[in-house]
């Protein structure tokens, strides 16, 4: 399968954006998209902020193959299961600092900012004994993404789905913005004048 220039540009744009925002370290994070019944995914330890065409590999949607085990991202099986279990057409995974920090003290992130309340309501958090690249993550994160556009693996990071990589990027950055606002409110230590998330019962969504 030949990866065309437009597809590479999408990966490159999104990789540079999450890198510039500090949502990943130099060699972390991964992303993929469905194309022609296959998965195009970043290779293991690729630098998302400095992608080259050879950093994109094609793996099978249905079964593990040599690329999955040796070349593709360590999260390849997680991506594969999300595609199998949800309506995702593209997936982006980052180690967004505020989202990840909140996942270590909360069981879900209910949005308290206007944009977050409109777009996400809440972001579920899943807990895994092996939170990086495991079959456990693949099994637990996919159900969470059936009804939500993003979910967080406790202490690890965010997985977001979209119809395109740019769409998933919008989710990732939006979720981190909501988490950042909630994080700063916790630092301030003063009660909210009005907590719409409780009024609207986002925990029950």
Residue ranges of the domains in the chain?
Answer: 5-189
Domain 5-189 falls in which CATH fold? L-fuculose-1-phosphate Aldolase (3.40.225)
0.75 surpassed by pTM: yes
Mean pLDDT by runs of 10 across the 205 residues of the chain is 90 98 96 95 96 95 73 94 97 98 97 94 96 91 96 98 98 98 96 91 89
Cα separation values, 7 from 34, 35, 45, 99, 165, Å: 11, 10, 20, 28, 10
């Amino acid at each position: 399968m030949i990866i065309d220039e437009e597809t590479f540009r999408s990966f490159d744009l999104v990789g540079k954006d999450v890198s510039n925002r500090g949502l990943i370290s130099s060699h972390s994070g991964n992303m993929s998209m469905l194309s022609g019944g296959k998965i195009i995914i970043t290779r293991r330890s690729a630098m998302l902020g400095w992608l080259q065409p050879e950093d994109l590999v094609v793996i099978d949607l249905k079964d593990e193959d040599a690329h999955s085990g040796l070349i593709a991202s360590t999260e390849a099986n997680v991506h594969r299961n999300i595609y199998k279990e949800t309506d995702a057409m593209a997936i982006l995974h980052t180690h967004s600092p505020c989202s990840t920090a909140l996942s270590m003290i909360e069981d879900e992130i209910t949005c308290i900012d206007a944009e977050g309340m409109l777009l996400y309501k809440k972001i579920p958090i899943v807990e895994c004994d092996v939170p990086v690249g495991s079959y456990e993550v693949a099994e637990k994160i996919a159900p969470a993404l059936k009804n939500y556009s993003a979910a967080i693996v406790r202490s690890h990071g965010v997985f977001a789905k979209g119809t395109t990589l740019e769409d998933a990027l919008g989710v990732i950055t939006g979720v981190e913005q909501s988490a950042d606002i909630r994080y700063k409110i916790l630092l301030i230590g003063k009660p909210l004048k009005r907590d719409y998330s409780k009024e609207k019962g986002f925990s029950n969504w």
